[in-house]
């Protein structure tokens, strides 16, 4: 299989044409590509998750602190022994893609290193939120049939701190019922 040159698949890389990169191939494998060589892979052909429901999201995230809540399981833990409500659907997985514009509001090309939003992840166990930088892909799968709130992320939000461009957010949110 011929590996495409980075410039053939990415017209906005701003001089990163000699940088190794990760790419998803048709064989369901993420592969590390360095020039024309594949130096490693991570295959997903055997990954599956029980799904009781799903929703697709496609939204624009405004600049300068714009925030989107992708999901909120609204789990409130009152005691350490609490279990999730039986037969209720909770978010158990998400595939999230951020698409950045090529140019900012001033018609200047956005450097690859400047393409970043924040992802805020709230744990169901203690409602504590932590923020992490996010470039353009986030994937999370949890136990689809657990009744334990410790096994659940309560809420995920995306925050765009960039003042000079809007981003597009695409997500597939997967639901699983508690036993």
Give the pLDDT confidence of 86-144 residue by residue, as tens digits: 899 999 999 999 999 999 999 999 998 899 999 999 988 788 899 999 999 999 998 88
Task: Note if the pTM is more than 0.85.
Answer: no
The pLDDT assigned to 176 comes to: 93
What residues does each domain of the chain span? 6-43, 53-177
CB-count exposure of residue 81 (10 Å: 0-12, 13-18, 19+)? exposed
* Domain at 53-177, CATH from 2.40.50, 2.30.30, 2.60.120, 1.10.760: 2.60.120
Q: Looking at residue 108, what DSSP letter applies?
A: P
Q: What number of H helices and E strands is found in the chain?
A: 1, 11
CB-count exposure of residue 113 (10 Å: 0-12, 13-18, 19+)? exposed
Q: Looking at residue 99, what DSSP letter applies?
A: E
């Amino acid at each position: 299989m011929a590996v495409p040159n980075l410039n053939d698949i990415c017209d906005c890389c701003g001089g990163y044409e000699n940088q190794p990169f990760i790419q998803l191939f048709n064989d369901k494998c993420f592969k590390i590509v360095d020039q024309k060589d594949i130096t490693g892979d991570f295959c997903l052909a055997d990954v599956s998750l029980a799904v009781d429901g799903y929703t697709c999201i496609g939204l624009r995230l405004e600049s300068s602190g714009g925030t989107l809540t992708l999901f909120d399981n609204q789990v409130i833990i009152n005691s350490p022994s609490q279990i999730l409500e039986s037969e209720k659907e909770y978010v158990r997985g998400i595939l999230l893609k951020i698409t950045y514009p090529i140019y900012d509001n001033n018609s200047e090309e956005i450097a690859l290193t400047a393409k970043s939003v924040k992802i805020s992840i709230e744990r169901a166990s203690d409602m504590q939120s932590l923020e992490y930088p996010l470039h353009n892909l986030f994937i999370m799968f949890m136990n689809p049939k657990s009744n334990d709130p410790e096994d659940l992320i309560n809420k995920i939000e995306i925050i765009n701190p960039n003042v000079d461009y809007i981003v597009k957010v695409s997500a597939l949110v997967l639901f699983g019922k508690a036993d």
